[in-house]
A and B are shown apart, each in its own frame.
Chain A
Amino acid sequence: NAGVMQNPRHLVRRRGQEARLRCSPMKGHSHVYWYRQLPEEGLKFMVYLQKENIIDESGMPKERFSAEFPKEGPSILRIQQVVRGDSAAYFCASSQVRGSNQPQHFGDGTRLSIL
């Protein structure tokens, strides 16, 4: 099953540490999207990337958060100097091409807990 793969599934960090979340898109997909889901809230868009390009990062906090999708390897969402408010489920989605005729397919997420 070549679905969207995210790892780790669960990640625990202490305040001030760095968190790295990985996402491998579905086979043949070259567009990656990151979303964050806080308890009792809907999924919120963070960033949209293609290989080696950030297309839209309008939903990503300006400080401490960064994302990349290198030519080789998975997409990485990096959170520096984590704080309690960063605790959430982070989901990655991928699509084959731009546009709504190819829906975004989601991974099972990384649940980040900050101690």
Chain B
Amino acid sequence: EDQVTQSPEALRLQEGESSSLNCSYTVSGLRGLFWYRQDPGKGPEFLFTLYSAGEEKEKERLKATLTKKESFLHITAPKPEDSATYLCAVQASGTYKYIFGTGTRLKVLA
């Protein structure tokens, strides 16, 4: 069964304290892995798509990487405005639906 597990469930960081969020997945053929950010009361906001092991994408303080079993979202020198829930989703080959993890709730303290 296709599955996505995110860890940790929650993370508190001081402003400027870099860290990484993990997304482990099992899927019958990976079509794509997606990272989203979700703020309270809002819908998921698209961040990155990764397609194959070894691929990396960067945007401001965020960098996403992909291996055959997991993806990491690295946050460098975070700011309080980076506080949000970060969601990971996979899309299996031959399908169009996304399978989401339960997310990591990130809180960055000033």
Q: A interface vs B, CB < 8 Å?
A: 4, 6, 31, 33, 35, 40-45, 48, 55-56, 58-59, 91, 98-101, 103-109
Contact = CB atoms under 8 A, between A and B. Distances in A.
B54 interface: no
B57 to A, nearest CB: 12
B75 to A, nearest CB: 20
23 contacts: A4-B43, A33-B98, A41-B102, A42-B87, A42-B100, A42-B103, A43-B98, A44-B100, A45-B98, A48-B96, A56-B97, A59-B97, A91-B44, A100-B31, A100-B32, A103-B46, A103-B49, A104-B34, A104-B46, A106-B36, A106-B43, A106-B46, A108-B41
B42 interface: yes
Contact of B49 (A42, A44, A56, A100): A100
A100 B97 contact: no
Which 7 pairs of residues, A with B, have the shortest CB-CB distance? A100-B32, A106-B43, A45-B97, A42-B100, A43-B100, A42-B102, A108-B43
Greatest chain B CB density within 10 A among A33, A45, A91 is at: A45
Nearest to B35: A103
B45 interface: yes
